[in-house]
Every structure is written in structure tokens, then in C-alpha cells.
Chains A and B, each alone.
Chain A
Amino acid sequence: MSTHTGEGPDAGTRPAPFRPDLFAGAAFIVLGLAFAIGGAQYDVGSALRMGSGYVPIALGGTLTVLGLLVVVMAFRGGDPAIRDVVRPPVPWRRAGLLVAAILFFGFTVGGLGLGPTLLVTTFLAALAAPEVKPLRAALTAAGITALCLVVFVALLQLKLPLFGDWLGG
């Protein structure tokens, strides 16, 4: 993917641990342990009849070890592929809006129905655009909602109610 097709690994080293590798390694360790510990709740079984926990524990352990290796990498100069790529800060507000838009869709589409849910979801998503005014976002949302209704309800005839039970539909 394009992020780390950066300009090559030729630049110098950094003194402090390379933070992206530290984070990535930590994420792998946490997830690996979570799966391994979670897997230990299930029956491990034997080599003949492996239980439900056998494979998750083995893989979780492997991921933890790989995560440790990535952490070691962080202290030894970091991943050359991304070491010299300067990334802009994380767009927290925008990411929050997009995640909220998707979660809102999941939580309400059954109750509110497709129409109202889509309006709110697309409005939240449109607000995440750079330099956007609320009115503009609302117009975008209305347009996309109309398009989606035409495609999914009218053309594809998906069995999704336009208005759900919460609205007395």
C-alpha cells in the first residue's frame, strides 16, 4: 500500500525506539496474548483430537513472539520501509465521525429503517470531509441517501424497510 513506499531505507538511524514499531509490536503482543489466554478457556485436547483451544493457543503464542521481535526491531533502528516517512497526525475527529457513522448504521438500521438511518449516517460521514460546512454535508447526505434508496430498495428490492418499527412503520 502506498504509505510506506517511501523514499528508501538509506537515511540515518534514530536514537530512541522507533515508535510505530513499538506500537505495532505491542498491538501484536496484546492481541496474541488475548487469543492465547482466551483460547485457554476452551478444551485444548490432544494431538489426535485437538480441542477448540489448541490452534488459538498455538497461533496466539506465535503472534506474541512475533510481536516481541517487532519490539526488538523498534530498538534496533526500526522498520526501514517506514522509518523515513513522515506521517501527518492522526485525524482523530474525522476518524471518530466515520466510526460513529458506521456504528449508528449498525445500531439503528433495524429499528429506524433504511431512510432515516442513512440520512444520519451519511451526514456524519460527510462532516468528516475537510473544509466542509454543515449545510453542504446535509446536502451531500440527502443526495447519497436518495441514490442508495433507488439502488437498493427500488432496483435491487432488498427487503430492508424504509421506516422501521421505532417510527411506528
Chain B
Amino acid sequence: MSVRKKLIIIGAVVVAAVIASVAIGASLPQATDYQAYSPLVGKVAPSIEGKSLVSGANVSLSKFRGEYVVVNFFASWCTPCEQEAPYLEEFYYQESRAAIATLIGVEFEDVNSTAANFLRQTGATYPAISDPGEKIAIRYGVTGPPATFIISPTGRVVAHINGPVTNTGLEKVINRLRRERMS
């Protein structure tokens, strides 16, 4: 085999390898602008049950079947959680009144009393529960707060947002999901 032929074969193999790498990269799941990748998106939402940090009442995700549920993992020691707190309260106030969506907070690696104080100080009125042993956080694959998941009315995880959220950002995602559901 001539040197030229060998070079052509080597070149062809290199090009094929590059094309295969690009194709594999493109086939991997991608995150959208606002949302982050989560393997849970599209799957049935793991159960959430716990005691309210403020009132001690039982809170369960299954009670909210039929509406969008925003699940927000937070901690009192997390600065971005402090930043998003007023936006979350605004979102809860607007959306729960319109019966479109609701919000559940889940404490992440925090002391219950400190987390409850954080909720009182930020004026949160939405139900927020303790998560001893981070069982719920592990079920949702949370690596750190703030992390937010949106659950569809049928009980499936439809979005995951890593980092602080705003009420307008959440509303945009939910409106898009509602449009997609209706079409």
C-alpha cells in the first residue's frame, strides 16, 4: 500500500472519529436557557411528604394533583436562596390565588429552627417542610440549594432550574408548559 493511500485511510478514520464524537455530543440531553438538565425530567415525580417547618402540619405533594407544583430546595445559609425568597412568595401569592400553581419549600442541610426563622424573616407563607437525612433531596438528585423543580398536574417532573429563580421566570416556564400541554 502506497504512503498516499495510507494517509488517506488515516485521514478518513480521523474524520469519522470527529463526526462520531460530534454526533454523540449532539445526542446528549441539553439544558435550555433557564432550565438545567436533570434525568428526572419526564419521569414521575418522587414523593414529597413532611411536616411544615412553621406550623407542623403535614404537607404532601400528592395533595396537589391537578395543578403545577413548584418544589424549591432552600437553606437559611444560602445567599441566593435569600435573594429568590421574595420572588417565590410573590409567585405563590399570584399563582395559588389563580389556582394555576402552588409552591412547596424543602429545607436542605439546615437546622429546622433556623430554616423556620428564615421563612418567617423572608415573609414566606407557602408550605415548607424539613427533610431529615436529605431523603427528598437525594430522591430529586439535588446537589445544593437553591434548586427548583416543576411538577406537572399529572405528577411528572417537567422542569429543573438550578440557581435562584424569579416569579416572572417561573411564570414564563409554566405558561410555556401549559401552552405545550394544550396544543
> A and B: real partners?
no
User: Which A residues form the contact surface with B (CB < 8 A)?
Assistant: none
